[in-house]
Amino acid sequence: MSTINNPILPGFHPDPSIIRVGTDYYLAVSTFEWFPGVQLFHSKDLANWELIGHALTRTSQLDMLGVGDSCGVWAPCLTYHEDTFYLVFSNVKNFDGLWKDTPNYLVTTQDIRGEWSEPIFLSASGFDGSMFHDEDGKKWFTSMLLDHRDGKFFGGILLQEYDVQSEKLVGSEYRIFEGSDIGITEGPHIYKKDGYYHLITAEGGTEYGHAVSQARSKAITGPYEIHPENPIISSSHQLDWPLQKAGHGDIVDTPSGDWYAVCLIGRPLPGSKRCTLGRETALIPMEWRSDGWLYNATGEKMPPVSLELDETLKAEGNSQRVDFQEGGLPLQFQSLRVPQSEDWVSTRERSGFLRLKGRETLSSAHRQSLVARRVQAFHVEATTHLEFQPAHFQHMAGLVAFYNTYHWHYLYQTVDDAGNEILEILTCDRYRFIEYPEHRVVLPKGTKEIQLKATIKEKALQFAYAPNPTEWIAIGPELDASILSDDYVQDHDNRYRAAFTGMFVGMCCQDLTGHGHPADFAWFDYQELS
């Protein structure tokens, strides 16, 4: 036996959906406004997970141009039946105001590592869609129902049959579950075991009241009775537990007959309720007891901080250095809303470099030139080598710690009106742009390259630069990294109550003249520190 620690997927990996195909486990997580959509992971032991690709790689599958922060891809549901993988997802267009725009789609493939089909529209009545393949050959689509009337918002769980031949929902629509007294019922998944249809849902909202609930029925259309000790997973009753926000779960069995759940969790920074790493994925041992209900096998409701698995060894960290070569970026790097394409990001135009052609501002929901990766630990260093010759004050390039279009810290190179190349820091915090002119650095004439670094230790972020590889110089004040969290955004700005991602670090370039002035990056290094 080996001991592993939760979370099994640290950093922004929310809404996990898991399946087993033979001895292989596959897991899908939400990506929201980050492109490509839906991260796909593979494991042989439930502990060591490899990112093997993304399901939604084309704009014909996923058009997110202009969608709001924390919109885009929500709650994918991954299933498998008769040699075909099915993936249901929501592509949320708008979540502000009374009405929501939440279309749901289905894509399929026979090779999970290959290309997925064009999307089939299912419904826009709500979000968190799911597919269930019944023993009689029928397929059923479930989702939560949005009800905008009288401030209700969550209207229960819907069920409708899906017809493979006509590629659409058919027959009657059933409202099968109104939820438990926890409320805010979403994320439905159906399973069949021992003559019962078991409905697993997320409840309580995806914050500190989050939970996994269970109900069951002899008929798929209901009525459903609620678990006698509901919820089956939650941390809401023990707010000092290291793994908070436990909810939105899915279950899977092993070849030997053991059962596990995956669910999202959040790890607050010490002394706060802010989770800068976003909503992460945890693993929980489960058991079916003699009463026919599912229980957390630890005897508690909370996800365990650590657990034992048969003969497995947890992989070491997520540190990665990338030296840019032709062939594109590693899978860990994503862009905002639009795909990476040669018209703005290239490893071919200059050999050994990543070239970003400047486009829109960090506040844009359309065409940014930004590539970034998740922050997956509380103490990290992100470093890059930049070669940039700005010719206008609207030319900028550098290193960014990013949450969404109005919450970020940015260290960048630009030029002033006198022609001096300079380093500056800009923070965006709740629409407020904060400059630090007293910390501006004028670079020596003829500077052709520079290294930039962000050191993040819990809530503290310190930028630095190196005019040569051996001389690091701190620049600017110690910044508050905790503003790059769901909790900060939700607690302080009602306009951004849809705040569901996590902190990223990456490289970006802006040319606000609209002419695509380029910046070149030789490498990007991400190191997790003790």
**Read out DSSP for 167-181?**
TEEEEEEEEEE---T
What is the average pLDDT across 391-401?
A: 97
Cis-peptide, bond into residue 10, ω within 30° of zero: no
- In order of their start, the domains of the chain are 2-309 (2.115.10.20), 320-528 (2.60.120.200)
How far does CA 357 lie from the centroid of its chain?
26
Q: Is the pLDDT of residue 76 over 70?
A: yes
Report pLDDT digits (tens) over 10-57.
Answer: 999 999 999 999 999 999 999 999 999 999 999 999 999 999 999 999
pLDDT band at 431 (very low <50, low <70, confident <90, very high): confident
The better pLDDT of the pair 340, 95 is held by: 340
Compute the distance between CA of residue 193 and CA of residue 201 in angstroms, rounded to an integer.
Answer: 16
Q: Residue 315 — very low, low, confident or very high, per pLDDT cuts 50/70/90?
A: low
pTM for this predicted structure? 0.96
Residue 1: the pLDDT is 78
Both tokens assigned to 406: 């109005």
* Cβ-count burial 460-498 (b if 16+ within 10 Å, e if not): ebbbbbbbeeeeeeebbeebebbbbbbbbbbeeeeebeb
* Alpha carbon distance 406, 482 (integer Å): 14
- pLDDT tens for residues 221-277? 999 999 999 999 999 999 999 999 999 999 999 999 999 999 999 999 999 999 999
Under the banding of pLDDT at 50, 70 and 90, the label for residue 106 is: very high
List of E strands, 164-243: 168-177, 186-193, 196-203, 211-217, 225-226, 233-234
Please report the pLDDT score of residue 98 as a whole number. Answer: 83
pLDDT tier for residue 530 given thresholds of 50, 70 and 90: confident
Per-residue pLDDT, averaged over 93-101, amounts to 88
Q: How many CB atoms lie within 10 A of CB 160?
A: 18
Give the pLDDT confidence score for residue 316 in this predicted structure: 66
Question: Whole-number mean pLDDT of the chain?
Answer: 95
| Three-class DSSP category at 490 | helix
Residues 253/321, Cβ–Cβ less than 8 Å: no
Give the three-state DSSP class for 423: strand
Q: Tell me if 296 sits within 8 A of 286, measured CB to CB.
A: yes
Q: Cα–Cα distance between 149 and 382 in angstroms, integer?
A: 47
Q: Is the pLDDT of residue 162 over 90?
A: yes
| For the chain, percent of residues with pLDDT exceeding 90 | 91
- Is 401 in contact with 409 (CB distance < 8 Å)? yes
pLDDT, tens digit (0-9, with 9 covering 90-100), for 264-313: 999 999 999 999 999 999 999 999 999 999 999 999 999 999 999 986 77
Q: Where are the beta strands (DSSP E) in 416-530?
A: 421-429, 432-435, 441-442, 450-457, 460-468, 471-480, 504-511, 518-528
SS3 137: coil
Mean pLDDT of 164-193: 96
Residue 264 dihedral angles phi and psi, to the nearest 5°: -85, 150
Q: Name the residue among 103, 404, 130, 380 with its Cα closest to residue 251.
A: 130
Give pLDDT, residue 326. Answer: 77
Does residue 187 or residue 530 have the better pLDDT? 187
Write the pLDDT tens digit of every residue in 449-482.
999 999 999 999 999 999 887 899 999 999 999 9
Q: How many residues does the chain have?
A: 530
Q: Any idea which residues carry the catalytic annotation?
A: 15, 186
Average pLDDT over residues 372-399: 97
The confidence band for 492, taking pLDDT boundaries of 50, 70 and 90, is low
Tell me phi and psi for residue 149, to 5 degrees: -80, 135
For the chain, the straight-line distance linking the first and the last C-alpha, in angstroms and rounded, comes to 25
Mean pLDDT to the nearest integer, 69-76 = 97
Instruction: Tell me the β-bridge partners of 88.
Output: 77, 106
pLDDT value of residue 317: 75
Q: Which pLDDT value is given to residue 496?
A: 43
User: Which pLDDT does position 165 carry in this prediction?
Assistant: 96
Task: Return the amino acid letter for 44.
Answer: K
